[in-house]
Amino acid sequence: MWSWLLFLALSKVSSTNAIFEQCNHQVKLQAGQKLLINSPYYPALYPVGTSCRYAVEAPKDHVLQFKCELQLRTLSTDLKCRPEVFHFNSEGDEVLTSSEYFCGSGKFERKSFLNRAVISYISNGHSEPPSAVKLKDKLSTVPTTSTTTEAPQAVSIEEPDAEEVDDEEQPEEPEEPEGANEDLSDEVLHVLQDVGVSDALAYVASLLYDAEEPSKSSTTIYLDKLPIRSSSKTSGKRARIVSSYPPAPSPGHGGGRFSCLVEAFLPTCSCGWSRIPRIASPTNEEAELHEFPPMAGVLTKKHGKVFCGAAIIHHQYLLSAAHCFQGPETNSAAKLRVVVGEHDLASSFETFATRRYDLDALMLHEDFSQASGQPRNDIALLRTRTPIVWSHHVGPACLPLQPAEDGRKLPLTGHQVVAAGWGTTSYGGPQTHRLLKATLDVIDGKRCRQALSSAGGLPTHTFCTFTPGRDTCQYDSGGALYERINGRLVAVGIVSFGQACAAQRPSVNTRVASFIKWIRIKSPEVAYCPGRT
């Protein structure tokens, strides 16, 4: 069954790529640069029955801002956007079914989720070629236009001169997008405007859209109609249009045009994202797929089994518990790796986000001790050999860099935190292969010390959790305890130790807020993102 689903997924990707085979642009922006992407033949209409895709990439940790104006010749009664459709994918995914759909005329603004986004259009209209013979001769000379373009820093790339055209002979120009009238002579890149897509590929696109409804993850937006404003402006510099297509269609026969102003910039904060807007659960239960993007498992290269948890806090750093790394098989970075984007350890098919990264540094707190079986300063910082790649399913937790309003360190008594891990489901029981979660109550320190008095009291820089019937257990150590603040997952604790599992005594966790200075000293090159924004 899985092999068949994988075949269908790969077939869909192949079909999508085929649609844009002859007009597929890969464009890289530098920080602060602006990019003007115009449709083929702009400001004239693009030809019906054509398709183009533009994948735009910014530097790592940057995002892309899009300001687009569309003028697609779509009937107001067609709310499914089938004849002329414009796609925007905030995650840089080139699969159409995960994109937003736009049609009609109007303006919109969007931001990329990370540093990559994809825009494209597909025209399912039908143009009338002069004759089948002539069309065949023309199409046989169409070159492939898949390109990769890098925008140079502070260099103006201008279009080649074209013949002067009188005002009355110029096509009508749409209103410029917001910001498009700025002086961008040092930073605007005009993307290639040639197009070459055969009728066969356009037909494939038509079949694809006739056969499939937009998926639940996609959104169809019909923009309100806007008047097309004429302009008396003319330009002595226009791109020479080299195309095997007949002239743009007359009104009423489909087609359209668009112009998008794109800018790459560094966001103020990017951490703690999660697809699930809740953390509370009545009992220990299986986590939703990719509910915890910062979740990682630590395993040995020798055995490949997850023995502790960890939380991603940066492209190359993860938090865990120091006591996890005391054995002869776990006390060296060269023996370890982490797995991210994982859910079911016994399956390779429930997610394609799983990646493994080797470690090149293992940093335990210098004052870590384990007297009387109670770890103190139980915190470790792991550094991966290569950067962890962000996606919607894998990303860093925020750190509690800012205290609560009353100055106390998070989490506070009475708050709820959620733990996740691949630990055992009972003390001495079997280890789960699916990621489980449990929502736990933070209890008062005095109450916790009284409950632990016979076991040596409560170490400093810790907090306790206790909820009847719910708890962390063996092999959950090192995993984070998260508090959701302003919609972000904040790693406020690290699972440290407890007496059995779900017993009548609380569990003890390292308070991350007490070790922020230590984390920064160990990773001085990193500017961490606060959880309270």
| Residues marked as catalytic | 323, 378, 477
CB 105 within 8 A of CB 226: yes
Query: In whole angstroms, what is the distance from residue 51 CA to residue 208 CA?
Result: 13
Alpha carbon distance 148, 268 (integer Å): 29
Which tokens is 153 given?
Answer: 């820093």
Determine the residue type at 147: T
Question: Which residues have C-beta within 8 Å of that of residue 422, sequence separation ≥ 6?
Answer: 297, 306, 309, 345, 431, 432, 433, 434, 435, 436, 475, 476
Q: Phi and psi at residue 303, in whole multiples of 5°?
A: -105, -25
CA 446 from centre of chain? 42
Q: Radius of gyration (Cα) for the chain, nearest Å?
A: 28
Place of tokens 């016979």: 454
Q: Per the structure block, which two tokens stand in for 387?
A: 């950067």
Q: What are phi and psi of 113, to 5 degrees?
A: -70, -45
The H or E element containing residue 134 is: helix 132-139
* Distance between CA atoms of residues 322 and 368, nearest Å: 7
d(CA 235, CA 229): 17
